[in-house]
Every structure is written in structure tokens, then in C-alpha cells.
Amino acid sequence: MGFSTNLQGKVAHEALLSRQEAELRLLETMKRCINIKVKCEKDYAAALSAVASQGMKIDRGDDLTGSVVCATWKTMMEELDNTAKLIRHNADNVENKVVDALNALCAEKRKVRKAYQEEHNRISHQFSQLSEEVNRKKVDYQKYLDLYKLMRCKFEEIYIKGGRGGRKLDEVRDKYQKACRKLHLTHNEYVLLLCEAAEFEKDYRTVLLPGLLEHQQSLQEAFVATWKQILQDIVSNSDLTSEKHCEIQKRINSSLESIKPAEEYKDFTEKYKTTPTEPVKFTFDESLVEDSAGKLLPNQLTVDNLTVEWLRNKLTELEASNKENQEKRIVLVNGHNSDSLVNGKPLSNEINNRLSVISLESSKKEVNELKCQERKMLKQIELIKSALNELGCEEVPSGCDISIDNQPAFIESPREQGDGSQSTLNKHLSAFDSHRLVKMLPNVLRKPFRRRSAPSSPIAPPRTKGRRESVPRSEGGDPVSLTTNKSLVDEEWFHGVLPREEVVRLLTTDGDFLVRETTRNDECQTVLSVCWGGHKHFIVQTTAEGHYRFEGPAFPSIRDLILYQFNSGLPVTQRSGAILYKPIPRERWELNNDDVILLDKIGRGNFGDVYRAQLKNSNDIVAVKTCRVTLPEEHKKKFLQEGRILKQYDHPNIVKLIGICVQKQPIMIVMELVPGGSLLTFLRKSASTLTENQLMKMCLDAAAGMRYLESKNCIHRDLAARNCLVGYNNIVKISDFGMSREEEEYIVSDGMKQIPIKWTAPEALNFGKYTSLCDVWSYGILCWEIFSRGGTPYSGMNNSKAREKIDGGYRMPAPENTPDEMYRLMLRCWEYKPENRPNFEQVYTVVETLCSAYRATFC
């Protein structure tokens, strides 16, 4: 089998010429690339030499005497220079030998191709000429045969009419004889020519053309052998694991082993050792208080009406800072103890050995700095508390002798002083005697504020026509009662940075309203959203005095403004006519950001970081996904989409949502903490210990979770081992619903960016059409990942190549030790037509049956 028997046809001949031309183009490409490679390696070698030369310019003085690190560095730079020389030497070899060999091979291939084409044309032309001559002789034969028949007819006719004599008869007989002679001669020539043509055709088919092709095949194979040798030369001169490179690395490693951190500074310390520094004493300069008549004492805090509030505020500030400091220190200390943990599980010894000592020491340094700050603050706290404790329940001492007995009006109505009343209060505080300050200050703080812009308790006008009298204000109480001890963020109808889509979903009946925050042009704005013949959103306006309003009166707080609009029954704006009937409280899954304490970062997602966190109310440890504040609003909506989907699901094989924090930035999704981490990472780390029974159980868990999603008309669209988590007892949970859609069929309309090509079904890639059967295809890839223990699908292929091969009918082979039934299920999941794939109910039934059979066999 070869060229001589398989390439005799015209199409094969043209294909052989095309192949030779393609090989010549490949040779030209190789020549260009090798020349570029040689240039790059020479430049790289020159750069390494420059680096080595620079690295050798170290301090030659006594400062580094005896330093093993310095000696090792010098060795490394010398070996770096040796590496550069070796790379340059190899590049020269490639340039002098390989490039010349490629040029010679290219020239020889062109010559051989030309010779083959000429020889093939020659014998083909010879065969064509002989065939044409046979055809011409056949035409002559037919012509002389017709002439012979004509002359014979004429001869017979004259012979019958004229008898046996006469001149005319002689002429006809002569022509008849000539025609007969010419016919016989042509007949013989035609017979001989056919004989020649038959023999040549046989030789052409069995000797000439096969011989030419056989000769060409031997030349082609000889070229390939030469080509292979050239490639081997390239590889041998590019091998960084060659013996010479390994020797360089061994010398470097040997030099590194001589470094002993505990001994590096032994000589240096001995040479420059000094006595400890003398402590610096900070003392109070008593001359500063000589003129204070004994009221100010050295090293003692002064507590009087001038300083008591400042000291209390300072104490509160210090205690808050100290608490924050302690929390930071606890996190760092816990970080030391959990450096070898991932989601609560110990890492392998190999990873422990790779932990950075420098990072650890840096963390310890931070802990020490925090301890120092803590000691400073505790000293100050102790000093302030001691001073305040000495005061006890006694009257606050007066800071000066000025009395303000004639200021009762100020005490009765602090708001009558206008916006500057608080500063006025601060000015007058210094004038209170101790007795009046203790008695009157609490009364001042308890007085209700009086507004000039609007009444403090607005009287609601008659209800507008159509107002729903029977609608309750809230469930279990009135969230808009006129209490003065709530801030805006504490109100149940304040929804933080909840996206507009969620707001539209919550407001269903005319008069439903809530308050939220949004960001426009990098400015945070408060918005009142109301359902009134559709959904209307009113931005709270800020006056020059810092008050808040819509079209009516202004109020010092947004909460007061909303309460006024609700109780007055007036439209928010005359144009909209929107009236506030029913405040919509936060849903149970809307958590307050302050209820979540972020502990340590455990990962990174598409939208932000992932943290291990603690819930304040229950002390439960959870996982928290955060959304970067700088992301566009469109991305934040996509981030919250996962929470919207997960909040309604409850299944042991679906990661559980605990809540969503939208009261302020950053937006957070709070989920159960699954201790085993990513399934893909778990498979790779535990590859040697996982049994086939455990792998089957993981496939069953994934099938159970996907069966549940299928029953809810949820298309996951990104099912893969990286998006599954491993819980206790190796239970697998489906996670990462950022691309999911709650539809029976979903058509992509925004392009196919960030689509996981190797996990996605052909109909989704080709037409953007997603159904649950697309997830079935992805499930087959997931099972392949599980049984390959974390292998990469379509290894060695880029996305476009894998897609091309799949469309051509290629399917991945079964991973080693995969049960035949399980591989058959994978192939069913990879049916090109979605209608030929099983649904997840069928998939689950098959996998459950296999698991039961497997347990019965091996347990």
C-alpha cells in the first residue's frame, strides 16, 4: 500500500502536488519562525548577561563580609551568566545548522517537485498522443471504408450495364482497386496502432506511472526523515532540561543549601553588638500649671462642666476604637491558627510546607502593633474611667464662676434659636453651675423639636377620593408611627440599595411605597418609590439649609418628610398625584449589613470577594459573596439575580440562601458555608483517596439537585465541577446561579460572552437556545470531570477546536476506571439533538440504580 497503488488518479495527482506545495509553505514558515526564535534567544541571552553583570556589582566593602546569602547570590549570578552563554551557544547551533538544513531541504523539495511534475506530464502526454492517434486512425479507417463501398457499388453498376469491356469500366475498376488497397493498408495500420496503444497503456498503468509514484514516495519519505532530524536538532538545542542546564541548576541549589538563616547574622551581630538603648522618660512639666491656682494638677485629668462631656465622648471613642482594634487582632490570630485550614478542614502537609514564613512574620508584626495600640488606648481608658469614677454621683464641678440663672427661655425652647441652637447650647454650657447642669441638661435633650417649615404633628386633611381606608398600615403594627427614636435605616420600609427590579416586584397595588437609595453620576440619592398607575420614583430634594422636600414643606430628616407625606394624604407631586397608602416592609431575607461580620476572605468571584463571616444574632458561620461598589448598576443587578433565584429553593443538594444585604454598600449575598470548598479543587486534592463508590455518589447528588431545579423550570447554564461545592460527608451541592434563568426555554439576546464553551450544549452555542436539556449536556461533562478526578475536558484543544470536533461527532473517551454504564449515560447526555437526551428525572433514576447496584456489589 502506497503511492504506486493508491495515487494513480488525476485527483490524487493534483492532491499530491498540493501537498508538496503545502509542505514547502510549512518549510518557509518554519524558516521564518526559527530565525525569529534565534533572534529572541540571542536577545534573551544578552539580557541575561546584562542582568548577571548588574547583579555582580555588589558592595565589596566590609558590610557583607561573611554573608552566605551574598556568596550564594554571586554564585547565582555566575550561573545566570553561564545560562546565557549556553542559550547563546544553542542559538548559534540552530542558526548555523538547522537554518542551513532547512534551506537545503526546501530547495531540494522544490527541485524534486518540479522533476516529478515534468516526468508525470511527459508520460501522460505520451499516453494522450497515442490515444489521439488511435482515434485519428479510426476516423481514417471509417473514411476509407466508405470510399471502398462507393467504388465497389460503381464498379458493380457499370460492370452489369456495360458488359466486360470498355474504357469507362477500366477507369472504375482502377479506382475500385485503389480504394480497396487503401482500406486494407489502413486496416493493418489501425490493428498495429491498437496493439501498440494497448501495450503502452498497460506499461503506463503497471510500470511507468507506478514507478514514478513509488520513486516520489521514497523521496518524500527521505525528506520527512531529514525533516525529523532538523526538528530534533531544534528540540535538542531548546531543551531546558538538558544535562548542561541541570548541572547549572544543581550548582545553584548546592549554593542555596549553604544558607542557614540562624547563622547568617552571627558574625555581624558579634561584631556590632551594643548595649540596649536607654528608655526615654516623658514627664509632666509642672511649671505649666503653676498659675492655675491648684485647679489643674500634674498627671491628673480635670473633670468639671467644661470637660465632662468631652471626657465621656473621648471615652466612648476610645472604647469603640479599642473594640475594633481587638476584633482586628482576633482575626489575625485566628488567621495564624487557620492558615492550614480551608473552610474548616486541614490542608495537606505539602501545602503547609509551602506557607510563606515572611507572610506569617508580617502578620505577627501586625498583631504586635495592634497590641501596642491596644495598650495605649487601655491606659487612656483607664485614666478617664478613674477620673469619672472619682466623680461618682456628685455634682459636676464648675469650670468657671459665671452663672446663667437668667437663661430659662433657652432651656425651654432650644429649637427657637434656629439652626445655630446647638452651637448656642455649647456656648452656654460653660456658664451653667454644676447643680443646674445636672438637673436641666436631660430635660433639654428630652424636649421635642419645633419646626418652622412644617408642624411637628401635621393634621391629616380629609382622605382623597379613592383612598383605601381598609388597608392596614403594616403587618403586626404601624411602621410609620410618629416615634422619635428611629432613624431612617431602622424603618422597615427603608430598603437600602435594593435594585429597581426588586422594587417593582414588591409594589403591586396603588399606594404601596418604600424608600431606597441609588447612585446616579457617582452621587448617592434617596428615592421614594410608589405604585400609582404604574411605578413612580421620586428623588428626595435637598434644600440649601440641608433640609429635605418634594414639592411641599421641607423637613430636617428624610424620615420626617416621608411621615408627613404618609399622614397628610397629600400627593407627592401634583403632576403625579401619587399618594402614600401602605408602606411595604423589608422581606424576611433582606438582612442588615451590620448584622454580618466579615471574618476572612476565602475566595474571589466574578463580582467581588467571597468571605467567611458570622451572623451577629445567631453566631452562625456563613459564606458571604460581596459585590464591588465600583461595578456598574447593570452588573449589580446580575449579582443579585443569584439571590433572587436561590431564595425560593430548599434542597439538600442546592446551596442554601440565608439572606441578601442591601441596606448599604457593598451589597452582599449570605449563603450557607459549605466546608469542603469547590468540587473541582476537592477532586484534584483527593484524587488518590476517592473510591469509585464515592464518585458515583457525587454524580447522584448532582443529579438530585439538577432534578429539583428542572422541576422548578430553572436552567442553570453554568453547571461544572468548579461551580459545585462539597459539604460534610462529601455531599455535593449545586452553586453559582449567576447565569441561571427561571424559564422553560431561554434565548440569549446579549451575545455569547463569557460562555463556558466546553461545558455548553451545541444548540446553545450555535443558536443561543437554552433549555434544561442543555444542563443535561453539562451534567455529562460534570460526570466526566468527577470520574477523571478533576481532569480538564477536551485537554489539548482550545475552545474553537473543541467546538469544531463536537459538531463533527467527536465525544471524549471514558476516564480510566469509569463504569461502562456510567460512560453510556455520559454519551446519552452528549447526544447532538437535545430531544435524544434524557431529562434529569431519567438521569437521576439511572444513576440511583447504578449506585444501588454498585453498593450491593462492593459493600
Binding site for ATP, by residue number, is: 602-610, 625
Cell of 577: 398625584
Helix (H) or strand (E) holding 668: strand 668-672
Contact 781/679 with Cβ under 8 angstroms? Answer: no
Nearest Cα to Cα of residue 760 among 799, 724, 796 = 799
Contact 708/651 with Cβ under 8 angstroms? Answer: yes
Cell match 493493418: residue? Answer: 188
Burial of 639 (0-12, 13-18, 19+ CB in 10 A): buried
Residue type, 669: I
Nearest Cα to Cα of residue 528 among 493, 501, 553 = 493
Cis peptide leading into 666, omega within 30 of 0? yes
Determine if residue 566 is left, alpha or beta; phi over 0 gives left, psi from -120 to 50 gives alpha, anything else beta.
Answer: alpha
Torsion of CA 231, 235, 238, 239, to 10 degrees: 180
How far, in Å, CA of 651 to CA of 429, rounded?
Answer: 62
Give the three-state DSSP class for 841.
helix
Q: How far apart are the first and last CA of the chain?
A: 54
The backbone torsions φ and ψ at residue 204, rounded to the nearest 5 degrees and listed phi first, read -60, -40
How far, in Å, CA of 102 to CA of 752, rounded?
Answer: 44
Non-local (6+) Cβ contacts of 219 within 8 A are 112, 116
Residue type, 720: A
How far, in Å, CA of 309 to CA of 300, rounded?
Answer: 17
Cell of 62: 566590609
Eight-state DSSP code of residue 537 = E
CB atoms within 10 A of CB 335: 17
Question: HEC string of 277-343?
Answer: CCCCCCCCCHHHHCCCCCCCCCCCCCCCCCCHHHHHHHHHHHHHHHHHHHHHHHHHHHHHHCCCEEC
The backbone torsions φ and ψ at residue 342, rounded to the nearest 5 degrees and listed phi first, read -130, 115
Contact 701/726 with Cβ under 8 angstroms? Answer: no
Catalytic residues, by residue number, are 718
Question: HEC string of 65-96?
Answer: CCCHHHHHHHHHHHHHHHHHHHHHHHHHHHHH
How far, in Å, CA of 44 to CA of 36, rounded?
Answer: 12
Cell match 411641599: residue? Answer: 552
Q: What is the spatial order of strands in the sheet that 582-583 belongs to?
A: 535-539, 523-531, 512-520, 582-583
Helix (H) or strand (E) holding 366: helix 357-391
Answer positive or negative: Cα dihedral of 774, 776, 779, 783. Answer: negative
Non-local (6+) Cβ contacts of 137 within 8 A are 186, 189, 190, 193
Contact 778/716 with Cβ under 8 angstroms? Answer: yes
How far, in Å, CA of 458 to CA of 447, rounded?
Answer: 18
Cell of 591: 438582612
The backbone torsions φ and ψ at residue 346, rounded to the nearest 5 degrees and listed phi first, read -70, 145
Helix (H) or strand (E) holding 262: helix 261-264
